[in-house]
Amino acid sequence: EPPRPAEKAGYCSAVAEAAVPAACGAAGQGSLVRAARGTPVPPRLRPVSAPPRSADFCYLPSVCGNCKALFVRFFYNASSRRCEEFIYGGCGGNRNNFETEGECSQACSHVGN
């Protein structure tokens, strides 16, 4: 079976909010959960915990994940050298995924210096 669009690294990082359900492969697969900016992700939907962070994860692409929620999150874009918004589905993904822009900036501020 070919990968769903949501499984392609970075695919959902720059998708307009109105297009997220179709772009992330959730269209027609049940109702979506919309979360306001800053809404904490329930522990069962957080990315899998990993060892302490290092600068390497700042180079990972944004990944919207496999679930159907619409959480506004932030990832470090190594190309633009900035933290940028993306829509996180609530599960899966990688460690380049922060609840706030401040957390992202703090974790990846030394990248490219």
- Position 111 scores a pLDDT of 84
CA angle 53, 107, 73 (to 5 degrees): 100
- C-alpha 26: how far from chain center: 15
In-domain check, residue 104: yes
At 109, list the tokens: 């501020």
In-domain check, residue 21: yes
Q: How far apart are CA 3 and CA 53, in angstroms?
A: 28
Say which amino acid occupies 3. P
Which residue range(s) make up the domain with 26?
5-108
Note if the pTM is more than 0.85. no
Number of domains observed in the structure of the chain? 1
Q: Per residue of the chain (113 residues), what is the pLDDT tens digit?
A: 444 444 444 444 444 333 344 444 444 444 445 556 666 666 555 555 444 445 689 999 999 999 999 999 999 999 999 999 999 999 999 999 999 999 999 999 888 76
Read off the pLDDT of residues 72-96 as tens digits, 9 standing for 90 and up: 999 999 999 999 999 999 999 999 9
In-domain check, residue 113: no
CATH code at 79?
4.10.410.10
Backbone phi, then psi, for 71, in 5-degree steps? -90, 130
| H runs (alpha helix) in the chain | 20-23, 101-108
